Amino acid sequence: MLGKHTLKGKSGCTVLTLCCVLVMIFAFGCRKKEQPQGSRRGPSTETTKPVPATDRVYQADTAEKINLRVLYAGVPNSDRAADFVDFLAKHFKEVETADYNAFKEGQSTDFDVTILDYDGVNTRAPRPNISRDYSRATITVGVPGAFICSSLSLKTGYL
Amino acid sequence: MGDAAHAELLDHEVYQKPFKVEPEFEQRDTPANYRDRHLGDDKLPDKMKVWRVQNTGKTSGSVVARSYGFTDSPDAEVLALGFNHGKEYGAVGVGRHGNFLQWGYSAPPSKMTDAGKKFFVNCVCYIKRFDGKAPLVRTRSSHRLDALRLATLINRIKDKEFFSRSFSSDLMEKYQGDPNGLVQYYKTDFELIYRDKVYRIDSELKALGINSNRSVHTLERLIALLQDKAHADTARGLLARYTNESFGSAEQWQQWLTANRDRIFFSDVGGYKFFVAPKGYLLPDSR
């Protein structure tokens, strides 16, 4: 009986020890998986938390630049154009600029993607003369972009 | 449109690569204009889940395209629903039509959020896939949902001329002061709405017992009716109304249908016509 009890006692100790070890492993394991403060967070628990007014520091996920040739056609010497070009150059291997006001569709020929950007908001911005045969991959931006789309009878147009 | 997009559509590949776009969400009150323009019988929620694309702090300045008919052709897709205070829920903040991607937000990158920046880079990469894919249709008409939207306004807008390109004078007289009646008129035969100067219900299709003008099955029925002397002329007229083709014989019509059936689509916005997407135009993962 005693032996059995002793055995039970030893067994209980062993189980207790194992439990402690498992708890410690679990606890340390969880700590290792914790995200550092300020890292990206999942959306599910953040549904009602307002986003801070100030932008967070942007960090690219990939070290290498994306292998695309991008033509940015904007307003020369504007802060906005510099803003776009700085950003694009961080991400794409080749970024060149063109004058939005003098843009001709043939300028897109040597690029993978063309971005047509005036100032984002102006309803009276000039509209580049683009034919309906034009089929190069193109991004139009903001209100001026919507008016370009309207002039081409695209669904992405204004109204 | 202001700074935000609705949280729908985040499973689209444009949010996945090369950057995983992981927005931070907010709950916003449902704008009054959404309720005002809502055409469904369901009730919109009091709050809506959105995420900020940019941080200008303004509630206007960016732009959305109307949602009605945006996706009625396979060359167009919605990439972000713009949270807006001027148009309907579902209006398009970022969308693609053929080789054009319209980014409706106004701010330069320095004023985009982290998620907004990633989304923009992804858009640049995504539109590259559509290089050479010019739009299949151009906007030539308004979608049939516009008939319902405008019908709700007949009491609010006093200028009768405003509706002269939407509703016939007979209908305006019949439903004077009764927008709900006019809405119901179009809802009852919604699948048979087309435009010929104004929004009409296709009584010829209805008389043939055909209940939609935009189903490929309708083309099959009409082509079959070309062999029926009693209905051949009507069927020929309807094929002319709903296609850009003008084949002389029933056999030619059938050959055209057989050869293109998998690539035929109907677009209200494109002019209430059936169109054929060229072989190889549609990308496997583009829709």
Annotate A9-41 with DSSP letters as a single string: HHHHHHHHHHHHHHHHHHHHHHHHHPPPTTS--
Say yes or no: A70 contacts chain B, CB-CB below 8 A: yes
Terminal Cα-to-Cα distance of chain B (whole angstroms)? 25
B106-127 pLDDT tens trace: 999 999 999 999 999 999 999 9
- Distance of alpha carbon B98 from alpha carbon A151, whole angstroms: 15
pLDDT at A28: 33
Of the residues B64, B98, B128, which one is the last residue of a structural domain? B128
Clarify whether residues B219 and B264 are in a common domain: yes
Q: Is residue B140 part of a domain?
A: no
Tokens of B26: 């907010």
Q: Give the residue, A40 or B263, on which the prediction is more confident.
A: B263
pLDDT at A3: 33
Clarify whether residues B93 and B158 are in a common domain: no
Clarify whether residues B149 and B267 are in a common domain: yes
Band of the pLDDT at B285, cuts 50, 70, 90?
low
Q: Is residue B60 part of a domain?
A: yes
The CA distance from B213 to the nearest CA of chain A, in Å, is 21
The CA distance from B193 to the nearest CA of chain A, in Å, is 20
Beta-bridge mates of residue B47: B29
Q: Is residue B286 part of a domain?
A: no
Nearest to B128 among A55, A68, A145 (CB): A68
Q: Give the residue, B18 or A47, on which the prediction is more confident.
A: B18
| Phi/psi at B195 (5° precision) | -120, 125
The CA distance from A114 to the nearest CA of chain B, in Å, is 9
Best mutation target among B24, B52, B58, B84 (most A Cβ atoms within 10 Å) is: B24
Q: Residue-wise over B94-128: b if at least 16 C-beta within 10 A, else e? A: bbbbbbbbbbbbbbbbbbbbbbbbbbbbbbbbbbb
Q: How far is CA B64 from CA A149, B101, B142, in A?
A: 12, 13, 16
B positions 2-31 inside 8 Å of A (CB): 7, 18-20, 22-27
8 A C-beta contact, residue A140 and residue B98: no
Q: Is residue B183 part of a domain?
A: yes
Tally of CB atoms within 10 A around A76: 12
- Distance of alpha carbon A97 from alpha carbon A95, whole angstroms: 7
Clarify whether residues B271 and B246 are in a common domain: yes
Clarify whether residues B21 and B120 are in a common domain: yes
Range of the domain at A110: 66-151
Residue A27's Cβ-count burial label (10 Å; 0-12, 13-18, 19+) is: exposed
- A56 to chain B: closest CA residue: B114
CATH number, domain of A89, equals 3.40.50
Query: Which residue do the tokens 């801070």 mark?
Result: A52
The CA distance from A100 to the nearest CA of chain B, in Å, is 15
Query: Which residue do the tokens 């449109």 mark?
Result: B1
Clarify whether residues B173 and B237 are in a common domain: yes
- Distance of alpha carbon A46 from alpha carbon A40, whole angstroms: 11
Range of the domain at B93: 4-128
Clarify whether residues B123 and B162 are in a common domain: no
Of the residues B128, B159, B189, which one is the last residue of a structural domain? B128
Q: Which helix (H) or strand (E) holds B257?
A: helix B250-260
Q: Is residue B282 part of a domain?
A: no
Clarify whether residues B15 and B79 are in a common domain: yes
pTM of the model as a whole? 0.84
CB contact under 8 A, A120 and B109: no
Best mutation target among A67, A84, A121, A155 (most B Cβ atoms within 10 Å) is: A155
Clarify whether residues B169 and B119 are in a common domain: no
Tokens of B116: 């907004």
Beta-bridge mates of residue B65: B92
Best mutation target among A62, A72, A127, A156 (most B Cβ atoms within 10 Å) is: A156
Of the residues B128, B155, B184, which one is the last residue of a structural domain? B128
Q: Is residue B135 part of a domain?
A: no
Q: Does residue B17 carry a pLDDT above 60?
A: yes
The CA distance from A30 to the nearest CA of chain B, in Å, is 23
Nearest to A55 among B25, B113, B125 (CB): B113
Q: How far is CA A80 from CA A77, A84, A86, A118, B254, in A?
A: 8, 6, 10, 9, 56
Q: Is residue B267 part of a domain?
A: yes
| Phi/psi at B191 (5° precision) | -70, -10
A20-42 pLDDT tens trace: 444 333 333 333 333 333 232 22
- Distance of alpha carbon B117 from alpha carbon B124, whole angstroms: 11
Say yes or no: B76 contacts chain A, CB-CB below 8 A: yes
Listed in sequence order, the residues at least 6 apart from B204 whose beta carbon sits closer than 8 Å to its beta carbon are B234, B237, B238
Running DSSP on this structure, what letter comes out for residue A108? G
- A82 to chain B: closest CA residue: B108
| Phi/psi at B104 (5° precision) | -75, -10
Q: How far is CA B275 from CA A104, B56, B221, in A?
A: 30, 42, 17
In chain A, the number of structural domains is 1
Quote ipTM for the complex.
0.94
Say yes or no: A110 contacts chain B, CB-CB below 8 A: no
Q: Is residue A60 part of a domain?
A: no
Q: Is residue A56 part of a domain?
A: no
The CA distance from B235 to the nearest CA of chain A, in Å, is 31
Query: Which residue do the tokens 């829709």 mark?
Result: B287
Helix/strand/coil for B208: coil
8 A C-beta contact, residue B103 and residue B121: no
> Which of A40-44, A127-131, B3-7, B29-33 is the least confident region?
A40-44
Nearest to A155 among B22, B97, B127 (CB): B97
Side chain identity at B60, as an amino acid letter?
Answer: S
B138-168 pLDDT tens trace: 999 999 999 999 999 999 888 878 899 999 9
Nearest to A140 among B52, B76, B100 (CB): B100
In chain B, the number of structural domains is 2
CB contact under 8 A, A142 and B133: no
Clarify whether residues B107 and B165 are in a common domain: no
- Distance of alpha carbon B85 from alpha carbon B31, whole angstroms: 6
A positions 115-144 inside 8 Å of B (CB): 115, 120-121, 132-143
- A74 to chain B: closest CA residue: B108
Q: Is residue A117 part of a domain?
A: yes
Residue A2's Cβ-count burial label (10 Å; 0-12, 13-18, 19+) is: exposed
B207-230 pLDDT tens trace: 999 999 999 999 999 999 999 999
B192-206 pLDDT tens trace: 999 999 999 999 999
Total beta-carbon pairs less than 8 A apart between chain A and chain B: 189
Side chain identity at A116, as an amino acid letter?
Answer: L
Nearest to A46 among B24, B52, B96 (CB): B24
Tokens of B204: 């010829």
B166-189 pLDDT tens trace: 999 999 999 999 999 999 999 999
Clarify whether residues B26 and B123 are in a common domain: yes
Tally of CB atoms within 10 A around A115: 29
